[in-house]
Structure 1
């Protein structure tokens, strides 16, 4: 593990800072308590970042564009820019204190115990619900592929049994406590997103669908829904501190974020445009539902869709698992490894219970995007940076930019959350 001594001015946060030297005692504690620190290369961190950002949102992005119209793509690019900027703010906040390891640590540094509590609530609820949504999505898609699947297990229906089996498949990846190893799981998720986009293009070009729909320029009534789904595509910020602390060379983190946001935004925009041109206003909330199961390209897209949630579940719940582990006095435990496995298994089991109790996926993810994702990924990083850096004491260009980003986030939270709640209540 490479260490370096860097002098810095804590009051100057207008430029990215680099990691400070930890004490020998802190290093030994980190090695013992968490093996993820300082073990991941630049390329593996890129895979983690791409895997976290390029998620199941790629399936709903055409529906988002159909809801808001062509001009709503501007909002996608605005959210991508705001998300990239707030990711860099997270790094700057972490560089102020070498003891910061998690997103809640940033909230505590900025606003004390209350700040830690608020950040923790938004962060962990968001990650937990996204992971739960993955299980729901798997159950729904597998039931569509196998509608006659009627087996039951321990009183569960066919769909509920599928959710349990998917959780059992995912469970070993949650047991991994080394992000360097988990990067190979992440790579499969990135490859899956590329295959989905390619197979959708193939279906449109060679399976008789074509790209003939014109669509509408703007649909004001659908803008809140579009923005909520766009925001859900960039809900990975609570994972970024974990990725940052795992890097061997932390100065490369901005480059990692730049690559991840550019590639994912190009992918999202491409899928949105292709899907809207293929199906127009008739595009479903998941574009795979528009595809025919009798064509090769369509079947590849549908089956590959099942890979994404499996590959991303572990990365989403890693911060939750680490927080649960750190809340217990490990030095009193005789078998720390077994206790860690118990924590991971219990977390997966709880998400299974919630997934079995929630009958829908789309409306839940829309609410997550509008309320939790925007708050955790855009608003909170800006507020924490304002407080930690002290920029709020002086009015300038950066101060104006931060206020603009915060106001954008507040508008999205209010309008998107209201629209999502109305849709949920209408379908109860």
Structure 2
């Protein structure tokens, strides 16, 4: 996703705990959502929190890791581990921010505690824009994989004929639209709490296809491709975009001192899965691997169809959960009409239609997720947590190893954001 979701996205789903809050790219936290008092006291065990954290980090980003590795070459795999380390450390900084002020409950609270209302606004913009674009990416992903399965599809509306991928994007949006109208998403969140399972099934299916379906692992690839490094690091960053979920995960824990261990387990396992998919996908398809590795799989094989259908089902169920915080944030801009059903339906429908328009205008999943990873995921998951911690803790007032480490991470994040965003915008502009 992280998302992936962050994420990094899941096949990623956000945590919807309070009206305005969290995203991530994937978890189902019914226990947290249903009882606000439990958020204050914390009732979730270590293992349940690990499960929720894995769902938050395991996302659609796994589909693009082979493409990221192909873009940058084998040595770019080191950047995956570098981004994972930086994201893990920024997750620890979020924990320290919450330990410093017990009134902090959400990711947006951290921004406000550090920089006031402006900090909250900036955090909200990055979070909701990321959710919006990831939801748009879901439509692109669905269109790509469905047209791969049914290449002769076309949609006729009167004299208008809409062919190929565009028709699938529109049809999927029509199917998803009623779920965005729902006031209670609890049933969807049960279906969607499958980020880590979906990632494991996809990885297993791809490996099975390579080992037993005649594809093999015969491509050597290139050692390093400098021109593809910005794309590679941007897609790697997209895999770790679940940080806005972390405050709620932390608050929900019964033993909050174990949260650092939760992060360690989640980042280790997810990085292992992401790296494995990158390596095996690159060995299978070499430089010809597409932005979604499922598009390279032979559709006449059962293992391939399992991977593809798994990829199709999860975003369909997760679109509404991912998109709801953005819808609610938009509705809150019109407080006098917020509770009126017709206005609510109009805003929800308009936003869904806008994602369809963007999905049709920017048809490349890889380019869009690269932009999300470079500009939004890096900002929300690495740069902002570091800056907020510096401000809240006062570390910026004294020179030391901690400050050097944090400033180095921020500088790296800014470099990734600038180069990755520029490269992504150029690529998207070239495909318009």
1:400 and 2:404 matched: yes
Shift of 1:92: 2.6
Shift of 1:350: 4.2
Structure 1 CA distance, aligned partners of 2:304 and 2:359? Answer: 27
Structure 1 CA distance, aligned partners of 2:237 and 2:312? Answer: 22
Secondary structure in structure 2 of the residue aligned to 1:375: helix
User: CA 1:338–1:105 in 2, change beyond 3 Å: closer, same or farther?
Assistant: farther
Shift of 1:45: 4.2
Structure 2 CA distance, aligned partners of 1:193 and 1:252? Answer: 25
Structure 2 CA distance, aligned partners of 1:384 and 1:402? Answer: 11
TM-score when scaled to structure 2?
A: 0.80
Structure 2 CA distance, aligned partners of 1:294 and 1:203? Answer: 11
Structure 2 CA distance, aligned partners of 1:255 and 1:195? Answer: 25
Structure 2 CA distance, aligned partners of 1:313 and 1:240? Answer: 20
Per-residue Cα deviation, 1:88-112 (whole angstroms, up to 9, x for no partner): 2223323444443332322121112
Aligned length: 392
In structure 2, runs of 5+ residues without a counterpart are: 1-32
**Counterpart selection for 1:184 from 179, 187, 190:** 190
Tell which deviates more after alignment, 157-166 or 259-268: 157-166
**Residue aligning to 2:19:** none
Q: Larger C-alpha radius of gyration, 1 or 2?
A: 1
Structure 1 CA distance, aligned partners of 2:295 and 2:350? Answer: 33
1:292 and 2:298 matched: yes
Shift of 1:384: 0.6
In structure 1, runs of 5+ residues without a counterpart are: 1-33
**Residue aligning to 1:157:** 162
Give RMSD over aligned pairs.
3.1
Shift of 1:151: 3.2
**Residue aligning to 1:262:** 268
Aligned pairs (5 A) from 1:61-80: 61-80=65-84
Shift of 1:379: 0.5
Per-residue Cα deviation, 1:300-343 (whole angstroms, up to 9, x for no partner): 2222211232244344335435545666769x98x799998887
Per-residue Cα deviation, 1:273-307 (whole angstroms, up to 9, x for no partner): 11111122222222122221112222222222112
**Counterpart selection for 2:144 from 113, 121, 140:** 140
**Residue aligning to 2:378:** 374
**Residue aligning to 2:223:** 217
1:275 and 2:281 matched: yes
**Counterpart selection for 2:241 from 235, 238, 262:** 235
Aligned pairs (5 A) from 1:28-177: 35=34, 37=36, 38=38, 41-42=44-45, 43-152=47-156, 157=162, 159-170=165-176, 175=182
Structure 1 CA distance, aligned partners of 2:377 and 2:417? Answer: 9
Per-residue Cα deviation, 1:203-230 (whole angstroms, up to 9, x for no partner): 1111111112222222222211111111
Tell which deviates more after alignment, 234-243 or 62-71: 234-243
TM-score when scaled to structure 1?
A: 0.81
1:202 and 2:200 matched: no
User: CA 1:346–1:304 in 2, change beyond 3 Å: closer, same or farther?
Assistant: same
Structure 2 CA distance, aligned partners of 1:76 and 1:107? Answer: 27
Secondary structure in structure 1 of the residue aligned to 2:290: coil
Tell which deviates more after alignment, 52-61 or 151-160: 151-160
Secondary structure in structure 1 of the residue aligned to 2:154: coil
Decide whether the 8 Å contact of 1:189 with 1:311 is kept in 2: no
**Residue aligning to 1:425:** 429
Shift of 1:86: 1.1
Secondary structure in structure 2 of the residue aligned to 1:151: strand
Shift of 1:83: 0.9
Decide whether the 8 Å contact of 1:48 with 1:186 is kept in 2: no
Structure 2 CA distance, aligned partners of 1:326 and 1:101? Answer: 20
Shift of 1:249: 5.5
Structure 1 CA distance, aligned partners of 2:216 and 2:344? Answer: 51
Structure 2 CA distance, aligned partners of 1:380 and 1:363? Answer: 23
Decide whether the 8 Å contact of 1:86 with 1:378 is kept in 2: yes
Structure 2 CA distance, aligned partners of 1:119 and 1:392? Answer: 20
